[in-house]
Chain A
Amino acid sequence: KAGVTQTPRYLIKTRGQQVTLSCSPISGHRSVSWYQQTPGQGLQFLFEYFSETQRNKGNFPGRFSGRQFSNSRSEMNVSTLELGDSALYLCASSLVGPLSGGLPGELFFGEGSRLTVL
C-alpha cells in the first residue's frame, strides 16, 4: 500500500507570493490533517479535513487555507507569503471515527514539503 505522498518536496518563494501544497493520503483514509513544523514552535496543527469538510482548524491566520477533494486528496494554500511561513509542512492521513476503523491518533505522515520564503 502506498504511503502518504506530498508534493512538491522543496520549494522556494518570495514574500507576497502564494503557494499550494498537495497531499495524497493512503488509499482508504478519509481524514487528512496538516501541520506546520518549525524549530521554535515544533509541530502546530493547521487544519483537518474529513470527507471534503474541514472539521478542525488551528490558530493560523486566514492566509492559510485548505480543501479536500472527493478522492480524499488535499491541498493547502498559503497566500501573501511572509518570511515566518518558512517551515516544513507535514500532511498526515488516518482512518478516523469508530465506524471507519483504525485506532485514535494513528496518523500516517508524508515526508513533508519544505517551504523557504525569501
Chain B
Amino acid sequence: AQTVTQSQPEMSVQEAETVTLSCTYDTSESNYYLFWYKQPPSRQMILVIRQEAYKQQNATENRFSVNFQKAAKSFSLKISDSQLGDTAMYFCAFMTPWGRDDKIIFGKGTRLHILP
C-alpha cells in the first residue's frame, strides 16, 4: 500500500524568506502523480502543484517549485519569497494513473506560518 509522510507538522518563517516542506512516499509503482495541496485557514483546499513521475523535470508554478527525487521517493515543495497569504496547511498527496486506483492518498499535512 502506498503511504505519504510529511515529517514537519508545523513550520514558521519570516515573510520574503524561502521555505521547503518535506514529503516522502512509498510505492512499488513506477508511474504515478504527486501533488501539493494548500488549505488556507477557513478556506477551501486548492491544488498548488503537480508532478508526473515519468517527467524528470521538476514542476514549477510561479513562486512554488518542487524537488522530485524519484529514487529517494522524495517530493519537497519550495516556496520562494514567501508571502503572508502562503500561511496555510500544506498536504502532499500521491495518486496512481487512470484506471488503476483513482483515490488520492494524502500526508498528514504541514502547518506553515508566514510571519510579518
A103 to B33, CA, bound (A): 10
Q: List the B side residues contacting A33 at CB < 8 Å.
A: 103-104
Is A42's CB under 8 angstroms from B107's CB? yes
- With contact pairs A42-B107, A43-B109, A105-B35 given, residues A56 and B102 touching in the complex (Cβ less than 8 Å): yes
Segment 48-73 of A: residues with Cβ below 8 Å from B: 48, 50, 55-56, 58
Is B43's CB under 8 angstroms from A111's CB? yes
B-binding segment of A12-20, A79-87, A90-98: A90-98
Chain B interface residue bracket vs A: 20 to 34
- With contact pairs A48-B102, A48-B103, A56-B102 given, residues A104 and B97 touching in the complex (Cβ less than 8 Å): yes
Chain A interface residue bracket vs B: 20 to 34
Interface residues of B (CB under 8 A from A): 33, 35, 37, 43-47, 50, 91, 93, 95, 97-99, 101-109
Is B105's CB under 8 angstroms from A104's CB? no
Distance in Å: Cβ of A111 to nearest Cβ of chain B: 5
Q: List the B side residues contacting A55 at CB < 8 Å.
A: 102
**Main secondary structure on chain B at its contact with chain A?**
loop
Beta-carbon nearest neighbor of B52 in chain A: A104
Interface residues of A (CB under 8 A from B): 3-4, 31, 33, 35, 41-45, 48, 50, 55-56, 58, 90, 92, 96-98, 103-107, 109-111
Is A109's CB under 8 angstroms from B102's CB? no
**20 pairs, A vs B, C-beta closer than 8 Å:** A3-B44, A4-B44, A33-B104, A35-B106, A41-B108, A42-B107, A43-B91, A43-B108, A45-B104, A55-B102, A56-B101, A56-B102, A56-B103, A90-B45, A96-B98, A97-B98, A104-B98, A105-B47, A105-B95, A109-B46
